[in-house]
Amino acid sequence: MKIITYNVNGIRSALGKGLADYLQKVNADVVCLQETKAQPDQIDDTLLKVIGYNHIYWHSAVKKGYSGVAILCKQKPENVVIGCGNELYDNEGRVIRVDFKDCSVMSVYMPSGSSGEDRQGFKMSWLEYFYGYISRLKHEVPNLVICGDYNICHRAIDIHDPKGNAKSSGFLPEERDWMEMYFNDGWIDGFRFFNSHPHHYTWWTFRAGAREKNKGWRIDYCVLHESLKSNLKASWIDAQAKHSDHCPTGIELKF
């Protein structure tokens, strides 16, 4: 099973930039999307269905043009869960999950705190809630994969300028501590399982030619429960995909 995650920074914009052609070439079984920024009735999914994604599930924010997650599947899942059961976060369209026979896949869009103290506080409250949520869920839903935009760089290796960003949201000590706790509690960073080298990023600001200079952040992850460790066969980041200010990252599982 090939799984990729991609913050598209607007699904309609990304489709206009050739996203469907890209997905056809990648040929993933499950595609997790974040920051779709659209209501389902605003999206023409014809091209996605033409390339084999006949089972598409959306969780949009109440606020139009904001946030939102989705999962595209080639095979019909056994179960679909919209949201995380908390109205505060579900109103922002942050979590969706599909369950298959061998594993379950979640698409998650974690809040950004870069706009100010209020949203940083919201982000930290979310992290506390989400940790408790998945701690319960991993016992109820075996073989869980949690893909998405985490809006946090785990370690200095995951950001181009760790010293200059030491006080930036997304690389704050308390955020990184949360990631460390997460990965020490039975979760595996799919990309780092195979690759320990620097300069691999998934997001670049649009400013100052950051992408061309590879001055980026690795904030998008495919995370899997340790029960799937023996099934993990490959992982990658595709920095050449340019439909967004993010790029896709993926894993391959063998059952």
Q: What is the pLDDT along the chain (255 residues), one digit of tens a residue?
A: 999 999 999 999 999 999 999 999 999 999 999 999 999 999 999 999 999 999 999 999 999 999 999 999 999 999 999 999 999 999 999 999 999 999 999 999 999 999 999 999 999 999 999 999 999 999 999 899 999 999 999 999 999 999 999 999 999 999 999 999 999 999 999 999 999 999 999 999 999 999 999 999 999 999 999 999 999 999 999 999 999 999 999 999 999
pTM of the model: 0.98
What is the torsional sign of CA 192, 108, 247, 25? positive
**CA dihedral in degrees (50, 12, 85, 170; nearest 10)?**
120
pLDDT score, position 203: 98
Q: What is the DSSP letter of 246?
A: B
Burial level of 243, CB count in 10 A (0-12/13-18/19+)? Answer: buried
149 is catalytic: yes
Q: How far apart are CA 170 and CA 182, in angstroms?
A: 15
pLDDT score, position 110: 98
Residue with tokens 């103290």: 117
Query: Which structural domains are found in the chain, ordered by start?
Result: 2-253 (3.60.10.10)
Catalytic residue among 29, 99, 149, 158: 149
